[in-house]
Structure 1
Amino acid sequence: MATSKKGGPEKKVGISYWSKDKVSCPVCKKAFEREVMRSGNGRMIAGGLTEELHRIYEPSAKFGRIYPLIYEIGVCPNCHTALFWNDFTEKIDPDDADKLFEHSEKRHKACEEIFPYYNLKHERSLFDGTAMYYLALMTYDDMGPYALPTMKKAIITLRLAWLTAEINQRCADHNYDLISKMFYSKALFFYQQAVINETERIEKSSTLNNMGPDIDKNYGWDGVIYLCGLLEYKYGQQEDIQMRLKKLSESKTAIARIFGLGKSSKSKPGPLLEHARNLYDNLSKLVNDDEF
Protein backbone atom coordinates (compact mmCIF):
# COMPACT_ATOMS: atom_id res chain seq x y z
CA MET A 1 0.00 0.00 0.00
CA ALA A 2 1.29 3.45 -0.90
CA THR A 3 1.95 5.84 1.97
CA SER A 4 1.74 9.60 2.26
CA LYS A 5 4.59 11.89 3.28
CA LYS A 6 3.20 11.82 6.83
CA GLY A 7 3.52 8.05 6.99
CA GLY A 8 -0.17 7.14 6.77
CA PRO A 9 -1.99 5.45 3.92
CA GLU A 10 -1.97 7.52 0.75
CA LYS A 11 -5.44 8.71 -0.16
CA LYS A 12 -6.42 7.45 -3.58
CA VAL A 13 -7.38 10.24 -5.93
CA GLY A 14 -9.68 9.13 -8.71
CA ILE A 15 -10.55 10.42 -12.13
CA SER A 16 -13.63 12.32 -10.97
CA TYR A 17 -15.29 13.82 -7.90
CA TRP A 18 -18.78 14.82 -6.79
CA SER A 19 -19.34 18.57 -6.75
CA LYS A 20 -20.57 20.17 -3.51
CA ASP A 21 -23.09 22.16 -5.56
CA LYS A 22 -26.09 20.10 -6.58
CA VAL A 23 -27.89 20.52 -9.90
CA SER A 24 -31.60 21.23 -10.09
CA CYS A 25 -33.47 19.36 -12.80
CA PRO A 26 -35.60 21.83 -14.81
CA VAL A 27 -38.13 19.08 -15.58
CA CYS A 28 -38.93 17.32 -12.29
CA LYS A 29 -37.36 20.00 -10.01
CA LYS A 30 -35.36 17.39 -8.08
CA ALA A 31 -31.75 18.10 -7.09
CA PHE A 32 -28.96 15.67 -7.91
CA GLU A 33 -25.19 15.50 -7.62
CA ARG A 34 -22.85 16.45 -10.44
CA GLU A 35 -19.84 14.29 -11.26
CA VAL A 36 -16.86 16.30 -12.46
CA MET A 37 -13.71 14.97 -14.08
CA ARG A 38 -10.47 16.00 -12.40
CA SER A 39 -7.77 17.56 -14.55
CA GLY A 40 -4.00 17.56 -14.33
CA ASN A 41 -1.60 15.07 -12.81
CA GLY A 42 -1.21 13.20 -16.08
CA ARG A 43 -4.85 12.23 -16.50
CA MET A 44 -5.30 13.68 -19.98
CA ILE A 45 -2.43 12.79 -22.30
CA ALA A 46 -3.48 14.19 -25.65
CA GLY A 47 -2.71 12.03 -28.64
CA GLY A 48 -3.61 12.49 -32.30
CA LEU A 49 -6.61 14.17 -33.90
CA THR A 50 -8.65 11.98 -36.23
CA GLU A 51 -10.13 13.18 -39.51
CA GLU A 52 -13.47 13.36 -37.66
CA LEU A 53 -11.90 15.96 -35.32
CA HIS A 54 -11.93 13.47 -32.46
CA ARG A 55 -9.08 13.84 -29.98
CA ILE A 56 -7.51 10.57 -28.89
CA TYR A 57 -6.18 10.43 -25.31
CA GLU A 58 -3.35 8.06 -24.52
CA PRO A 59 -3.64 5.83 -21.44
CA SER A 60 -1.45 6.83 -18.50
CA ALA A 61 0.48 4.50 -16.22
CA LYS A 62 -1.38 5.83 -13.17
CA PHE A 63 -4.96 6.23 -14.41
CA GLY A 64 -5.14 3.96 -17.44
CA ARG A 65 -7.41 4.89 -20.33
CA ILE A 66 -9.86 7.71 -19.68
CA TYR A 67 -12.72 9.15 -21.67
CA PRO A 68 -13.16 12.90 -21.01
CA LEU A 69 -16.20 13.03 -23.30
CA ILE A 70 -18.37 11.03 -20.92
CA TYR A 71 -18.38 13.78 -18.27
CA GLU A 72 -20.00 16.39 -20.55
CA ILE A 73 -23.58 15.19 -20.09
CA GLY A 74 -25.66 15.38 -16.92
CA VAL A 75 -28.62 13.11 -16.21
CA CYS A 76 -31.33 13.50 -13.60
CA PRO A 77 -31.65 10.05 -11.96
CA ASN A 78 -35.27 10.80 -11.07
CA CYS A 79 -36.75 11.53 -14.51
CA HIS A 80 -33.89 10.57 -16.86
CA THR A 81 -33.70 14.02 -18.41
CA ALA A 82 -30.22 14.32 -19.93
CA LEU A 83 -28.65 17.58 -21.11
CA PHE A 84 -25.35 19.25 -21.67
CA TRP A 85 -24.49 20.62 -18.22
CA ASN A 86 -24.98 24.26 -19.25
CA ASP A 87 -28.54 23.56 -20.37
CA PHE A 88 -29.62 22.65 -16.85
CA THR A 89 -29.54 26.37 -16.05
CA GLU A 90 -31.43 27.43 -19.19
CA LYS A 91 -35.19 27.91 -19.30
CA ILE A 92 -37.20 25.08 -20.83
CA ASP A 93 -40.54 25.73 -22.47
CA PRO A 94 -43.25 24.52 -20.03
CA ASP A 95 -44.86 22.36 -22.72
CA ASP A 96 -41.49 20.76 -23.45
CA ALA A 97 -40.92 20.16 -19.75
CA ASP A 98 -44.29 18.44 -19.47
CA LYS A 99 -43.49 16.28 -22.48
CA LEU A 100 -40.07 15.37 -21.09
CA PHE A 101 -41.59 14.37 -17.75
CA GLU A 102 -44.27 12.31 -19.50
CA HIS A 103 -41.61 10.49 -21.55
CA SER A 104 -39.32 9.76 -18.59
CA GLU A 105 -39.98 6.03 -18.44
CA LYS A 106 -39.94 5.77 -22.22
CA ARG A 107 -36.37 7.17 -22.28
CA HIS A 108 -35.33 4.83 -19.49
CA LYS A 109 -36.64 1.71 -21.22
CA ALA A 110 -35.30 2.70 -24.64
CA CYS A 111 -31.86 3.31 -23.18
CA GLU A 112 -31.81 -0.03 -21.39
CA GLU A 113 -32.47 -1.81 -24.69
CA ILE A 114 -29.06 -0.66 -25.97
CA PHE A 115 -27.24 -0.14 -22.68
CA PRO A 116 -28.69 -2.70 -20.24
CA TYR A 117 -28.12 -2.09 -16.54
CA TYR A 118 -26.57 1.35 -16.98
CA ASN A 119 -26.13 3.18 -13.68
CA LEU A 120 -26.64 6.87 -12.98
CA LYS A 121 -25.67 6.88 -9.31
CA HIS A 122 -22.07 5.73 -9.16
CA GLU A 123 -18.89 7.03 -10.78
CA ARG A 124 -19.58 6.67 -14.46
CA SER A 125 -17.86 4.15 -16.67
CA LEU A 126 -17.47 4.32 -20.45
CA PHE A 127 -20.67 2.26 -20.68
CA ASP A 128 -22.66 4.50 -18.31
CA GLY A 129 -21.38 7.70 -19.91
CA THR A 130 -22.33 6.50 -23.37
CA ALA A 131 -25.82 5.62 -22.14
CA MET A 132 -26.13 9.18 -20.83
CA TYR A 133 -25.48 10.53 -24.30
CA TYR A 134 -28.25 8.32 -25.65
CA LEU A 135 -30.61 9.67 -23.00
CA ALA A 136 -29.59 13.19 -24.07
CA LEU A 137 -30.37 12.37 -27.71
CA MET A 138 -33.90 11.40 -26.71
CA THR A 139 -34.23 14.43 -24.42
CA TYR A 140 -33.38 16.94 -27.16
CA ASP A 141 -35.88 15.14 -29.42
CA ASP A 142 -38.60 16.67 -27.24
CA MET A 143 -37.26 20.24 -27.26
CA GLY A 144 -38.14 23.14 -29.55
CA PRO A 145 -35.91 25.20 -31.88
CA TYR A 146 -35.00 27.65 -29.09
CA ALA A 147 -32.75 24.92 -27.61
CA LEU A 148 -30.95 24.33 -30.95
CA PRO A 149 -31.73 20.62 -30.67
CA THR A 150 -30.67 19.65 -34.21
CA MET A 151 -27.12 20.94 -33.84
CA LYS A 152 -26.83 19.38 -30.40
CA LYS A 153 -28.15 16.04 -31.67
CA ALA A 154 -25.55 16.18 -34.44
CA ILE A 155 -22.75 16.51 -31.89
CA ILE A 156 -24.32 13.90 -29.59
CA THR A 157 -24.75 11.27 -32.32
CA LEU A 158 -21.19 11.74 -33.58
CA ARG A 159 -19.88 11.31 -30.04
CA LEU A 160 -22.12 8.28 -29.60
CA ALA A 161 -20.54 6.78 -32.73
CA TRP A 162 -17.08 7.29 -31.21
CA LEU A 163 -18.03 5.99 -27.77
CA THR A 164 -19.89 2.90 -28.98
CA ALA A 165 -16.88 2.09 -31.17
CA GLU A 166 -14.76 2.27 -27.99
CA ILE A 167 -17.19 -0.06 -26.21
CA ASN A 168 -16.91 -2.48 -29.11
CA GLN A 169 -13.11 -2.48 -28.80
CA ARG A 170 -13.36 -3.27 -25.09
CA CYS A 171 -16.28 -5.69 -25.40
CA ALA A 172 -16.58 -7.25 -28.84
CA ASP A 173 -19.37 -9.49 -30.14
CA HIS A 174 -22.16 -7.41 -28.61
CA ASN A 175 -23.03 -5.57 -31.85
CA TYR A 176 -21.73 -2.18 -30.70
CA ASP A 177 -19.85 -1.95 -34.01
CA LEU A 178 -23.22 -2.01 -35.78
CA ILE A 179 -24.65 0.48 -33.29
CA SER A 180 -21.68 2.78 -33.96
CA LYS A 181 -22.43 2.69 -37.70
CA MET A 182 -26.06 3.51 -36.95
CA PHE A 183 -25.00 6.58 -34.97
CA TYR A 184 -22.68 7.70 -37.78
CA SER A 185 -25.68 7.60 -40.12
CA LYS A 186 -27.71 9.63 -37.65
CA ALA A 187 -24.84 12.11 -37.29
CA LEU A 188 -24.76 12.58 -41.06
CA PHE A 189 -28.49 13.33 -41.06
CA PHE A 190 -28.39 15.76 -38.13
CA TYR A 191 -25.30 17.65 -39.35
CA GLN A 192 -26.84 18.18 -42.76
CA GLN A 193 -30.22 19.02 -41.26
CA ALA A 194 -28.59 21.61 -38.97
CA VAL A 195 -27.17 23.35 -42.05
CA ILE A 196 -30.56 23.23 -43.78
CA ASN A 197 -32.26 24.63 -40.66
CA GLU A 198 -29.69 27.43 -40.52
CA THR A 199 -30.17 28.28 -44.20
CA GLU A 200 -33.96 28.26 -43.92
CA ARG A 201 -33.86 30.14 -40.59
CA ILE A 202 -35.68 27.38 -38.74
CA GLU A 203 -32.96 27.08 -36.10
CA LYS A 204 -30.02 29.41 -35.52
CA SER A 205 -27.63 26.47 -35.48
CA SER A 206 -24.52 28.60 -36.02
CA THR A 207 -25.15 30.51 -32.77
CA LEU A 208 -24.35 27.51 -30.58
CA ASN A 209 -21.46 28.59 -28.34
CA ASN A 210 -19.40 25.43 -28.76
CA MET A 211 -19.81 23.11 -31.74
CA GLY A 212 -16.90 20.86 -30.83
CA PRO A 213 -17.30 18.22 -32.04
CA ASP A 214 -14.91 17.05 -29.29
CA ILE A 215 -14.09 18.90 -26.07
CA ASP A 216 -10.51 19.97 -26.76
CA LYS A 217 -11.29 22.65 -29.38
CA ASN A 218 -14.27 24.43 -30.86
CA TYR A 219 -14.07 24.20 -34.66
CA GLY A 220 -17.22 26.29 -35.07
CA TRP A 221 -19.33 26.50 -38.20
CA ASP A 222 -16.35 25.73 -40.43
CA GLY A 223 -16.08 22.41 -38.61
CA VAL A 224 -19.78 21.75 -39.21
CA ILE A 225 -19.44 22.30 -42.97
CA TYR A 226 -16.36 20.09 -43.05
CA LEU A 227 -18.07 17.29 -41.10
CA CYS A 228 -21.11 17.43 -43.38
CA GLY A 229 -18.81 16.64 -46.29
CA LEU A 230 -16.71 14.07 -44.45
CA LEU A 231 -19.69 12.14 -43.12
CA GLU A 232 -21.30 12.14 -46.56
CA TYR A 233 -18.05 10.82 -48.04
CA LYS A 234 -17.63 8.09 -45.42
CA TYR A 235 -21.17 7.13 -44.45
CA GLY A 236 -23.51 8.44 -47.15
CA GLN A 237 -25.90 6.12 -48.97
CA GLN A 238 -24.50 4.25 -51.98
CA GLU A 239 -27.63 2.72 -53.49
CA ASP A 240 -28.35 5.73 -55.72
CA ILE A 241 -24.98 6.51 -57.28
CA GLN A 242 -26.12 9.63 -59.14
CA MET A 243 -27.56 11.10 -55.94
CA ARG A 244 -24.36 10.22 -54.11
CA LEU A 245 -22.21 11.94 -56.73
CA LYS A 246 -24.47 14.99 -56.61
CA LYS A 247 -24.15 15.24 -52.81
CA LEU A 248 -20.38 14.73 -52.94
CA SER A 249 -20.08 17.44 -55.58
CA GLU A 250 -22.09 19.83 -53.38
CA SER A 251 -19.85 18.96 -50.43
CA LYS A 252 -16.74 19.64 -52.50
CA THR A 253 -18.07 23.06 -53.51
CA ALA A 254 -19.04 23.96 -49.93
CA ILE A 255 -15.64 22.94 -48.55
CA ALA A 256 -13.77 24.88 -51.25
CA ARG A 257 -15.90 27.96 -50.53
CA ILE A 258 -15.45 27.81 -46.76
CA PHE A 259 -11.74 27.06 -46.72
CA GLY A 260 -10.64 28.93 -49.82
CA LEU A 261 -9.01 25.84 -51.27
CA GLY A 262 -7.16 26.35 -54.53
CA LYS A 263 -6.14 29.87 -53.48
CA SER A 264 -3.00 31.18 -51.84
CA SER A 265 -4.92 32.42 -48.80
CA LYS A 266 -3.79 31.08 -45.44
CA SER A 267 -6.56 32.70 -43.41
CA LYS A 268 -7.64 29.36 -41.93
CA PRO A 269 -4.46 27.59 -40.88
CA GLY A 270 -4.30 24.59 -38.56
CA PRO A 271 -5.42 20.97 -38.47
CA LEU A 272 -8.92 21.69 -39.76
CA LEU A 273 -7.51 23.21 -42.96
CA GLU A 274 -5.22 20.23 -43.42
CA HIS A 275 -8.09 17.76 -43.01
CA ALA A 276 -10.28 19.87 -45.31
CA ARG A 277 -7.60 19.75 -48.02
CA ASN A 278 -7.37 15.96 -47.73
CA LEU A 279 -11.14 15.62 -47.95
CA TYR A 280 -11.26 17.97 -50.94
CA ASP A 281 -8.67 15.86 -52.73
CA ASN A 282 -10.60 12.66 -51.98
CA LEU A 283 -13.85 14.17 -53.21
CA SER A 284 -12.14 15.38 -56.38
CA LYS A 285 -11.07 11.82 -57.16
CA LEU A 286 -14.67 10.62 -56.97
CA VAL A 287 -16.52 13.48 -58.59
CA ASN A 288 -16.38 14.37 -62.28
CA ASP A 289 -17.57 17.96 -62.38
CA ASP A 290 -18.38 17.68 -66.08
CA GLU A 291 -21.30 15.43 -65.23
CA PHE A 292 -23.17 18.19 -63.45
Structure 2
Amino acid sequence: MRTFWEKEFTCPFCGHRFKKKMVFFDAVKIKSRDIDLKPIFEDVNPMLYEVVTCPNCYFSAFDRDFETIKIKGEETEKKLKKLLEEARKKIKIKDEETPTEAIKRYALSGIVYSVLNQRKKVAISYLKIAWIFREMGKPEDEKRYLERALREFENHFKYDSYEESDEPMILFYLGVLNQILGNRKEAARWYERLLGKHRDSLYAKVGRERWQDLRRS
Protein backbone atom coordinates (compact mmCIF):
# COMPACT_ATOMS: atom_id res chain seq x y z
CA MET A 1 0.00 0.00 0.00
CA ARG A 2 1.30 3.45 -0.88
CA THR A 3 1.61 5.96 1.94
CA PHE A 4 2.25 9.29 0.24
CA TRP A 5 1.20 11.21 -2.83
CA GLU A 6 1.82 14.72 -4.18
CA LYS A 7 -0.92 17.28 -4.58
CA GLU A 8 -0.65 20.58 -6.42
CA PHE A 9 -2.01 23.67 -4.71
CA THR A 10 -2.61 27.25 -5.82
CA CYS A 11 -2.21 29.78 -3.03
CA PRO A 12 -5.42 31.82 -2.62
CA PHE A 13 -3.39 34.76 -1.29
CA CYS A 14 -0.51 35.21 -3.76
CA GLY A 15 -1.43 32.83 -6.60
CA HIS A 16 1.78 30.79 -6.33
CA ARG A 17 1.48 27.16 -7.48
CA PHE A 18 3.37 24.43 -5.67
CA LYS A 19 3.27 20.75 -4.76
CA LYS A 20 3.03 19.19 -1.31
CA LYS A 21 3.42 15.67 0.00
CA MET A 22 0.14 14.25 1.35
CA VAL A 23 -0.80 11.07 3.20
CA PHE A 24 -3.22 8.54 1.75
CA PHE A 25 -6.23 8.12 4.02
CA ASP A 26 -5.88 4.32 3.97
CA ALA A 27 -2.30 4.57 5.27
CA VAL A 28 -3.42 6.14 8.57
CA LYS A 29 -3.86 3.69 11.45
CA ILE A 30 -4.89 4.78 14.95
CA LYS A 31 -3.81 2.56 17.86
CA SER A 32 -5.49 4.47 20.67
CA ARG A 33 -6.46 7.95 21.87
CA ASP A 34 -5.45 10.14 24.78
CA ILE A 35 -7.86 11.75 27.24
CA ASP A 36 -8.53 14.63 24.81
CA LEU A 37 -8.96 12.28 21.84
CA LYS A 38 -5.47 12.92 20.51
CA PRO A 39 -4.80 9.96 18.20
CA ILE A 40 -1.83 7.66 18.76
CA PHE A 41 -0.81 6.56 15.27
CA GLU A 42 0.86 3.27 14.35
CA ASP A 43 3.13 4.44 11.57
CA VAL A 44 2.82 7.71 9.71
CA ASN A 45 1.53 10.73 11.65
CA PRO A 46 -0.86 12.69 9.39
CA MET A 47 -0.75 15.68 11.74
CA LEU A 48 2.68 16.47 10.31
CA TYR A 49 1.14 16.86 6.83
CA GLU A 50 -2.21 18.48 7.60
CA VAL A 51 -1.32 22.15 7.19
CA VAL A 52 -0.46 23.49 3.75
CA THR A 53 1.97 26.44 3.70
CA CYS A 54 2.66 28.46 0.58
CA PRO A 55 6.47 28.56 0.21
CA ASN A 56 6.21 31.99 -1.43
CA CYS A 57 4.09 34.03 1.02
CA TYR A 58 3.64 31.63 4.00
CA PHE A 59 -0.16 31.69 3.76
CA SER A 60 -1.18 28.55 5.70
CA ALA A 61 -4.37 26.59 6.28
CA PHE A 62 -5.64 23.05 6.72
CA ASP A 63 -5.35 21.07 3.51
CA ARG A 64 -9.10 20.55 3.19
CA ASP A 65 -9.83 24.28 2.86
CA PHE A 66 -6.53 25.84 1.73
CA GLU A 67 -7.70 26.72 -1.78
CA THR A 68 -11.26 27.63 -0.85
CA ILE A 69 -10.52 30.36 1.70
CA LYS A 70 -11.80 33.79 0.72
CA ILE A 71 -9.92 36.87 1.92
CA LYS A 72 -12.60 39.54 2.11
CA GLY A 73 -11.84 43.23 2.39
CA GLU A 74 -8.78 45.39 1.77
CA GLU A 75 -8.06 45.85 5.48
CA THR A 76 -8.07 42.10 6.10
CA GLU A 77 -5.72 41.58 3.15
CA LYS A 78 -3.33 44.28 4.38
CA LYS A 79 -3.29 42.93 7.92
CA LEU A 80 -2.66 39.37 6.74
CA LYS A 81 0.10 40.47 4.37
CA LYS A 82 1.84 42.39 7.16
CA LEU A 83 1.68 39.50 9.63
CA LEU A 84 2.90 36.95 7.08
CA GLU A 85 5.79 39.22 6.07
CA GLU A 86 6.77 39.54 9.74
CA ALA A 87 6.56 35.75 10.13
CA ARG A 88 8.84 35.21 7.13
CA LYS A 89 11.49 37.39 8.77
CA LYS A 90 11.35 35.37 12.00
CA ILE A 91 11.07 31.78 10.82
CA LYS A 92 12.18 29.67 7.90
CA ILE A 93 9.88 26.93 6.65
CA LYS A 94 11.71 23.90 5.32
CA ASP A 95 10.27 21.38 2.89
CA GLU A 96 10.25 18.69 5.57
CA GLU A 97 7.54 16.86 7.50
CA THR A 98 9.06 16.93 10.98
CA PRO A 99 7.43 17.85 14.30
CA THR A 100 9.34 21.14 14.40
CA GLU A 101 8.25 22.13 10.89
CA ALA A 102 4.66 21.05 11.58
CA ILE A 103 4.56 23.29 14.67
CA LYS A 104 5.68 26.25 12.53
CA ARG A 105 2.97 25.54 9.98
CA TYR A 106 0.23 25.21 12.61
CA ALA A 107 1.41 28.49 14.16
CA LEU A 108 1.09 30.15 10.75
CA SER A 109 -2.38 28.67 10.22
CA GLY A 110 -3.30 30.08 13.63
CA ILE A 111 -2.28 33.54 12.41
CA VAL A 112 -4.27 33.21 9.18
CA TYR A 113 -7.43 31.89 10.85
CA SER A 114 -7.18 34.57 13.55
CA VAL A 115 -7.12 37.36 10.96
CA LEU A 116 -10.08 35.71 9.22
CA ASN A 117 -11.99 35.50 12.54
CA GLN A 118 -12.24 31.70 12.41
CA ARG A 119 -11.64 31.06 16.09
CA LYS A 120 -12.55 27.37 16.04
CA LYS A 121 -9.77 26.70 13.55
CA VAL A 122 -7.35 28.84 15.56
CA ALA A 123 -8.21 26.66 18.56
CA ILE A 124 -7.66 23.47 16.56
CA SER A 125 -4.32 24.80 15.25
CA TYR A 126 -3.16 25.43 18.83
CA LEU A 127 -4.50 22.08 20.02
CA LYS A 128 -2.51 20.27 17.32
CA ILE A 129 0.63 22.16 18.38
CA ALA A 130 0.03 21.02 21.96
CA TRP A 131 -0.38 17.44 20.78
CA ILE A 132 2.90 17.54 18.85
CA PHE A 133 4.68 18.97 21.89
CA ARG A 134 3.18 16.09 23.89
CA GLU A 135 4.71 13.62 21.46
CA MET A 136 8.04 15.44 21.77
CA GLY A 137 7.95 15.17 25.57
CA LYS A 138 7.75 18.92 26.19
CA PRO A 139 5.03 19.33 28.86
CA GLU A 140 5.53 23.06 29.49
CA ASP A 141 5.13 23.91 25.81
CA GLU A 142 2.18 21.52 25.60
CA LYS A 143 0.48 23.25 28.53
CA ARG A 144 1.04 26.69 27.00
CA TYR A 145 -0.74 25.71 23.81
CA LEU A 146 -3.52 23.81 25.59
CA GLU A 147 -4.23 27.06 27.43
CA ARG A 148 -4.26 28.98 24.15
CA ALA A 149 -6.58 26.42 22.56
CA LEU A 150 -8.93 26.60 25.55
CA ARG A 151 -9.07 30.40 25.35
CA GLU A 152 -9.94 30.26 21.65
CA PHE A 153 -12.64 27.62 22.21
CA GLU A 154 -14.10 29.80 24.97
CA ASN A 155 -14.19 32.88 22.76
CA HIS A 156 -15.61 30.88 19.86
CA PHE A 157 -18.42 29.57 22.07
CA LYS A 158 -19.19 33.01 23.52
CA TYR A 159 -18.95 35.27 20.51
CA ASP A 160 -19.26 33.34 17.24
CA SER A 161 -22.08 31.85 15.26
CA TYR A 162 -21.58 28.15 14.59
CA GLU A 163 -23.45 25.13 13.34
CA GLU A 164 -25.49 23.27 15.94
CA SER A 165 -23.67 20.09 14.89
CA ASP A 166 -20.37 21.67 16.04
CA GLU A 167 -21.54 22.32 19.59
CA PRO A 168 -20.87 18.85 21.09
CA MET A 169 -17.23 19.05 19.99
CA ILE A 170 -16.84 22.58 21.35
CA LEU A 171 -18.40 21.68 24.71
CA PHE A 172 -16.27 18.53 24.95
CA TYR A 173 -13.05 20.46 24.48
CA LEU A 174 -14.13 23.15 26.93
CA GLY A 175 -14.57 20.32 29.42
CA VAL A 176 -11.54 18.17 28.70
CA LEU A 177 -9.02 21.00 28.33
CA ASN A 178 -10.13 22.45 31.66
CA GLN A 179 -9.79 18.95 33.13
CA ILE A 180 -6.24 18.50 31.84
CA LEU A 181 -5.28 21.96 33.08
CA GLY A 182 -6.63 21.24 36.56
CA ASN A 183 -9.75 23.42 36.43
CA ARG A 184 -12.06 20.80 37.93
CA LYS A 185 -15.16 22.95 38.51
CA GLU A 186 -15.03 24.44 35.04
CA ALA A 187 -14.53 21.01 33.49
CA ALA A 188 -17.55 19.62 35.37
CA ARG A 189 -19.69 22.59 34.33
CA TRP A 190 -18.97 22.07 30.64
CA TYR A 191 -19.44 18.28 30.84
CA GLU A 192 -22.83 18.81 32.49
CA ARG A 193 -23.83 21.17 29.70
CA LEU A 194 -22.65 18.69 27.06
CA LEU A 195 -24.53 15.77 28.61
CA GLY A 196 -27.64 17.81 29.27
CA LYS A 197 -27.95 19.09 25.73
CA HIS A 198 -26.31 16.49 23.47
CA ARG A 199 -26.80 13.23 25.32
CA ASP A 200 -26.71 11.05 22.20
CA SER A 201 -23.63 12.50 20.51
CA LEU A 202 -20.32 10.65 20.32
CA TYR A 203 -18.63 13.52 22.15
CA ALA A 204 -21.16 13.14 24.97
CA LYS A 205 -20.32 9.46 25.26
CA VAL A 206 -16.63 10.24 25.73
CA GLY A 207 -17.47 13.28 27.85
CA ARG A 208 -19.48 11.10 30.23
CA GLU A 209 -16.44 8.86 30.75
CA ARG A 210 -14.19 11.87 31.36
CA TRP A 211 -16.69 13.36 33.81
CA GLN A 212 -16.82 10.09 35.73
CA ASP A 213 -13.02 10.01 35.84
CA LEU A 214 -13.06 13.56 37.16
CA ARG A 215 -15.52 12.71 39.91
CA ARG A 216 -13.51 9.65 40.97
CA SER A 217 -10.17 11.46 41.10
TM-score by length of 2: 0.85
Larger Rg: 1
Aligned AA for 1:16? F
Is residue 253 of structure 1 aligned with residue 192 of structure 2?
yes
Q: Does 2:12 match 1:33?
A: no
Report the Cα offset of residue 45 of structure 1: 2.5
Q: CA distance change for structure 1 residues 282 and 227 in 2, over 3 Å: closer, same or farther?
A: same
Number of the residue aligned with 2:50: 72
- Whole-Å Cα distance in 2 between the matches of residues 99 and 162 of structure 1? 29
- 1:283 CA displacement: 4.4
**Cα offset, 1:193, TM superposition:** 1.4
Q: 1:126 aligns with which of 99, 121, 135?
A: 99
2:6 partner amino acid: W
Instruction: Pick the aligned partner of 2:163 from 172, 192, 206.
Output: 206
Figure out how many residues of one structure are paired with residues of the other and give that number.
Answer: 215
2:175–2:188 contact (8 Å) kept in structure 1: no
Residue 36 of structure 2 aligns to a residue in which SS?
coil
Question: How far did residue 141 of structure 1 move?
Answer: 2.2
CA RMSD of the aligned region, Å? Answer: 2.6
Q: 1:63 aligns to what?
A: none
Local SS of the residue matching 1:78 = coil
Instruction: Give 2:49's aligned amino acid.
Output: Y
Give the 5 Å matches for 1:199-278: 203-206=160-163, 220-235=166-181, 245=185, 247-260=186-199, 267-268=200-201, 272-278=203-209
Deviation at 1:162, TM superposition (A): 0.4
> Which residue in 2 is equivalent to 1:101?
81
Whether 1:92 aligns to 2:71 is yes
Matched with 2:38 is: 54
TM-score normalised per structure 1? 0.65
Structure 1: gaps of 5 or more residues? 1-12, 60-65, 170-175, 198-202, 208-218, 238-243, 261-266, 287-292
Q: C-alpha displacement at 1:51, in angstroms?
A: 2.1
CA deviations over 1:77-133 (Å, ceiling 9, x no partner): 1111111231422321132222212222312345x3xxxx540xx342232222211
- Measure the CA separation in 1 of the matches of 2:180 and 2:214: 11
Corresponding residue for residue 18 of structure 1 = 6
Q: CA deviation at 1:39?
A: 4.2
Q: 1:51 to 1:206 in 2, by over 3 A?
A: farther
The amino acid of 1:93's aligned partner reads: K
Residue 120 of structure 2 corresponds to residue 151 of structure 1 = yes
Alpha-carbon displacement from aligned partner over 1:211-257 (angstroms, at most 9, x marks no partner): xxxxxxxx8421221111111122156xxxxxx63x34532431331
Cα distance in structure 2, aligned partners of 1:191 and 1:155: 9
State, as a whole percentage, how many aligned pairs show the same letter. 20
Counterpart residue type for residue 181 of structure 1: K
Structure 2, unmatched stretches of 5+, are none
Partners of 1:156 and 1:79 lie apart in 2 by 19
